[in-house]
Amino acid sequence: MRLKDKVAIITGAANGIGLAAAKTFAKEGAKVALADFDEATGTQRATELSEEGFEVAFFQVNVADRSSVDAMVQKVLGQYEKIDILVNNAGITRDGMLHKLAVEDFQKVVDVNLTGVFNCAQAVVPAMVQQGSGKIINTSSVSGVYGNVGQTNYAATKAGVVGMTKTWAKELGRKGINVNAVAPGFIETGMTAKVPEKVLEQMKMMVPLGRLGLPEDIANAYLFLASDESNYINGTTLHVDGGIMM
């Protein structure tokens, strides 16, 4: 198993890509901390995975609140005594054209998608430095690399994630910590389920592979970057987008 006995924190793990990642990591032998704001759903997911024989536990967290993040990390360390992997997967959208975008919606996305990534990474780094190893995987987006209409806030945060990833890769590499990012394209999640069918078909036509991605496609990218197979990859943003931006 590729992650045998590794301890992994995955944020936003109650649903969608985060849940797919939790299942994938658990199947590969990891002890998975499901970290999510949604306590009811997160607890249910952890129970379901535990009943399947996986070592999984839920930890409630608001990634935008540093005290909440610190408390979550300390609880994970208290239970598992180490942290090998952090997947900064939690994220939200509050879309709107620039001239209509509410300041509150801009700031909320920044708080979760950018500050939240910073909070979680900074909180786990001391433990990783002490043990001399670690993998931090941040979630960017094709929107953060190429921009997207109606996503000023989201694109800005996801571009910021790329910048932080490269910076941390330079700072932490000599301490045994690899930092990389994944940039998903259009993925079938709860968010896309609300998109009209006509728009979905247009989205699929933009992708050379002719389909939207699955949460498992992103989970597999996370798995590769979390495993020993990626030990010489550092500061990279891996696009998992079906070739949409070639």
**Per-residue pLDDT, 203:** 87
The answer to whether 134 and 8 are in contact (CB under 8 A) is no
Is 146 designated active site?
no
Position 177 in a domain: yes
Neighbours of 28 (CB within 10 A): 17
Tens digits of residue pLDDT in 111-126: 999 999 999 999 999 9
Domain that holds residue 162: 7-239
What is the reported pLDDT for 16?
96
**Which of the 8 DSSP states describes residue 210?**
S
Q: Has residue 244 been placed in a domain?
A: no
Distance CA 33, CA 54 (A): 11
**Residue of 80, 146, 154, 232 marked active site:** 154
Nearest-angstrom CA–CA distance, 233 and 60: 31
Q: Is residue 45 part of a domain?
A: yes
Answer yes or no: is 246 within a domain.
Answer: no
Residue 245 lies in a domain: no
d(C-alpha 53, C-alpha 48), whole Å: 9
Element (H, E) at 1: none
What pLDDT was estimated at residue 233? Answer: 98
Instruction: Determine, yes or no, domain membership for 113.
Output: yes
How many CB atoms within 10 Å of residue 13? 34
Asked if residue 184 belongs to a domain, the reply is: yes
Percentage of residues of the chain with pLDDT beyond 70: 100
Question: How many angstroms separate the Cα of 5 from the Cα of each of 26, 70, 74, 127, 189?
Answer: 10, 23, 19, 16, 29
Residue 162 maps to a domain: yes
Give the alpha-carbon dihedral of 218, 56, 114, 128, to 10 degrees: -100
Q: What is the pTM of this model?
A: 0.97
Number of domains making up the chain: 1
CATH number of the structural domain spanning residue 13: 3.40.50.720
